[in-house]
Amino acid sequence: MSSRLVTRSRLLLWGGFAALAFCLPLVFKSGFLVSLLCQMGIMVVFALSYNMLLGHTGLLSFGHAVYYGLGAFATMHALNVIGKGGSPLTTALLPLVGGLAGLLAGILLGYVTTRKAGTTFAMITLGIGEMVAACSLMFPGIFGGEGGVSGNRVIGKESFLGFTWGPQVEMYGLIVIWAFVCTVAMFALTQTPLGRMANAVRDNPERAEFVGYDTERVRFLMVVLSALFAGIAGGLSALNYEIVTAETLNAHTSGVVLLMTFVGGIGFFYGPIIGAILITVMQIVIGGMTHAWLLYFGLFFLFMVLMAPGGIASVIAVQRNLWTAGLFGRVLPHYLATALPVAILLAGLVGLVELSYALLAGDAGVGAGDTATKVMGMQLQLRSPGPWLAALAITAVGLVLTRWIGGRASLAWNAALSTLHGDKT
C-alpha cells in the first residue's frame, strides 16, 4: 500500500473504531442490544457495497438485494451441506461462500446491466431484481419457498479458540471482524486507479472515454466487486439469523439499502455507515415501539431530502469545517437554543400521529366509549377532545418557537458559512 493510503491518523482512527466495536458488548450486555449491534454490522457492509455503485460510480441500482440474497442462500446451503462434519472455523469462513455467490451473480448480471448507464441501468436492475425475486418462489428446492431455508451455525464437536458461534455475543465478534475487513478493503478500493476511474465515470463519462478508458468495463468491475461484498453481507445475515427467506431478494431490501446510503450521504465514504446504523435503529427500536414507524421514517426521509440532500455526513462535514475555522462557537449557542423548541414540536407531532393511527387502526376497539392508546408512556382517551387539543397546542407552540428561534439560528448559520467561504477565497 502507498503512504497515501496508510497514514498514522488513519491507523489510529481505524484502530479506535475497531476497539470501540469490540468493547460495545461490555456496555450493552442485553441480548436485544447485542442482536441490534449484529444487524448494524451486517447492514454497514451491505450499505457500503451499495455505495460502491451509487456514490462512487454513479449507478442507481434497484436490485442490489439480488447479490445480498443469493449470498445468503448460498451460505445457508453450504452450512447445511457441511453439517456435523464441519468445524467452527469453517463456519467463520462461510461468508466467503456468500461473497463468491455474489461475485458470480455480479459477473453474469453485470454483463447485462452495465451496457447502459443512468436511467436505463436503473430500470434493468429493477427488472432483474423482480425476476429473481419471483424465481425465489418458483423454485422451492433452492430457495425453500415461503418458509425459506434454515440451518444451525453451531457445527462440529470441538470449539475454535473457545468459540462455537452459538452465543449471540460470539456471533457479534465474528460480524465485527468481517465488517472491519470489508470496510477497510472497500476504502482501499476507493484509493486505487479503478476507484479513481469510477469517480471519473460518475462525473464525466464522455471525458473518461476521450482519454482512453472503457467506461463500460469500469462499471462492470465495480458492479462485480460490489456484488462480492454484498454477498458477504448476505452470508453474515444467514449465519446471524440461521434462516434465509425470499424477503432478502425482494425490492423492499433493495429500497432499504438505497435509503440507508442516501440518508447517510453518498458523497462520503462514512456516510452509508451512519445511514445503516440509523435506519437499523429506526426499523428495530422505533418499529418495536409503534406501528406507525414507517410514517416517521417517511417524514424523516422527506426532511433529509429537503433540508440536507447531501445526507447526514454532509452536515457533519460542514460542522467540521466550522470547527477547523474556529467558527463553531458562533453557531453552538443557537443549536442549543433550537433544541428545546424542536423537541416540543416533535412531541406534539408524535402525539397527533399516535392518536390518529390508533383511532384509524382501531387498536383499542373502534366504537367503544373508553377507547384509549398509550403515547410516550401516557394512557390517553381517543374519544376525548382533551388529548387532541393538548397535542395540537404543543405542536403549535413548538412550531412558533422553532420558527422564531430557528430563524435566528439560520441567520447565525448563514453568517458563519459566509465567513468560512470568505476565508477560503
| Distance (Å, whole) CA 412 – CA 174 | 46
What digits encode the pLDDT tens for the residues 175-204?
999 999 999 999 999 989 999 999 999 998
Q: Which domains are delineated in the chain?
A: 8-295 (1.10.3470), 325-424 (no CATH)
**SS3 annotation, 29-76:** CCHHHHHHHHHHHHHHHHHHHHHHHHCCCCCCCCCCHHHHHHHHHHHH
pLDDT in the model for residue 372: 66
pLDDT in the model for residue 424: 55
pLDDT in the model for residue 1: 40
Write the CB contacts of 256 (distance below 8 Å, at least 6 apart in sequence).
279, 283
Q: Give Cα 167 distance to the centre of its chain.
A: 25
Amino acid occupying residue 47:
A
Write the CB contacts of 171 (distance below 8 Å, at least 6 apart in sequence).
38, 153, 165, 239, 240
Angle at 251 between CA 246 and CA 253, to 5 degrees: 70
Contact 360, 295 (CB under 8 A): no
- Do β-strands 378-381 and 372-375 pair in parallel, antiparallel, or remain unpaired? antiparallel
What digits encode the pLDDT tens for the residues 335-360?
888 889 899 999 888 888 888 887 77
3-state secondary structure at position 379: strand
What digits encode the pLDDT tens for the residues 124-137?
999 999 999 988 88
- Helices 31-54 & 215-241 angle (0-180, nearest 10): 170
| Distance (Å, whole) CA 422 – CA 65 | 45
Angle at 186 between CA 181 and CA 190, to 5 degrees: 145
pLDDT in the model for residue 423: 57
Instruction: Note the pTM of the prediction, 2 decimals.
Output: 0.89
**Which segments in the chain show pLDDT lower than 50?**
1-3, 363-370, 425
Q: Give Cα 193 distance to the centre of its chain.
A: 27
Task: Look at the block and give the residue holding cell 464441519.
Answer: 86
DSSP one-letter string for 272-310: HHHHHHHHHHIIIIIHHH-TTHHHHHHHHHHHHHHH-TT
β-partners of residue 244 are: 149
| Distance (Å, whole) CA 90 – CA 248 | 23
| Distance (Å, whole) CA 219 – CA 203 | 13
Burial-class residue 141 by CB neighbours within 10 Å (0-12, 13-18, 19+): exposed
Amino acid occupying residue 38:
C
pLDDT in the model for residue 410: 80
Write the CB contacts of 403 (distance below 8 Å, at least 6 apart in sequence).
none
| Distance (Å, whole) CA 178 – CA 238 | 14
pLDDT in the model for residue 160: 78
β-partners of residue 160 are: 163
